[in-house]
Amino acid sequence: MATQRDRMDEMIQGKQVSHCSRPPARWRHELKGVLIRQMQIARRVRKLADEIERDFAGRDLVVVSLLNGTVMFLADLIRHLSLPMRLDFIGVSSYRDGTQSRELLLTKELRLEVRGRDVLVVDDILDTGKTLKCVLDKMRELKPRRIKVCVLLEKKDRRVEKVRADYVGFSIPDLFVVGYGLDFAERYRNLPFVGVLHPHYYQSS
């Protein structure tokens, strides 16, 4: 039977998480608010892992994670998976020093063989879709059996490429977010929650 907590999680999935709570004092100067709390993330990540586990049961899974923003999400997600799996990384950099999208830069190639295998691509955030489109096009050339995509966050309003994720942690409004692996100019990745940066903070730097 679904518990109240389950129902809350279902409400969060695919819907806009738009209410911020007050950030811890240490971060109040830089952050407007906390958009997704540590406990919300933990519960949702466990649910995503359950879904993935069900969908890939009996398969030889290769998890391909995009560097660097997935670091926390990936670590939490895969520790809930008891499937046999292998892990590799692709390095793609687009927001290298701020919030402006730039040319995509491939910083690390895939090393594992994925031909004929089941691949789960893990990314931090699906925004315009340019990054994932580029990665998925590249992956398809390697002829995996199937590819599924898992993202922690998505901003639906900003999509310019026709890309969708099979597993979405949270759908968020068009705000620049940091924390839980996501950065601004390589900072804030260590925050255990997803927070919203004060626009004046990044606009002036």
- CA-CA distance, 192 to 40, in Å (whole number)? 11
- Please state, in angstroms and as integers, the Cα–Cα distance from residue 113 to each residue in 39, 125, 139, 142, following that order: 36, 25, 11, 8
Question: Exposed (0-12), middle (13-18) or buried (19+): which is 196, by Cβ within 10 Å?
Answer: buried
**31 is a contact residue toward ligand XMP (CB under 6 A):** no
C-alpha span between 22 and 10 (Å, rounded) = 24
Handedness of CA 95, 25, 200, 155 (dihedral sign): positive
Q: Tell me which of 78, 124, 167, 180 binds ligand XMP, using CB under 6 A.
A: 124
Q: Is the preceding peptide bond at 68 cis, omega within 30 degrees of 0? A: yes
Interacting residues of 100 by C-beta distance below 8 A, sequence separation 6+ = none
Shortest Cβ distance from residue 14 to ligand XMP (Å)? 18
- 118 is annotated as an active-site residue: no
Q: Are 35 and 194 in contact (CB under 8 A)?
A: yes
**Least CB distance to ligand XMP at residue 172 (A):** 8
Binding-residue pattern over the window 158 to 177 for ligand XMP, x denoting contact by CB under 6 A: ------------------xx
Choice from 35, 110, 114, 126 touching ligand XMP (CB under 6 A): 126
Site for ligand XMP contains 65 (CB under 6 A): no
- Can residue 40 be called a binding residue for ligand XMP (CB under 6 A)? no
Catalytic residue selected from 118, 123, 124, 127: 127
Residue 94 near ligand XMP by CB under 6 A: yes
Judged by CB under 6 A, does residue 64 bind ligand XMP?
no
Q: Does 195 bind ligand XMP (CB under 6 A)?
A: no
Q: Does 130 bind ligand XMP (CB under 6 A)?
A: yes
Query: What are the residues binding ligand XMP (CB under 6 A)?
Result: 69, 94-95, 101, 123-131, 176-178, 182-184
Q: Which residues are part of the catalytic machinery?
A: 127
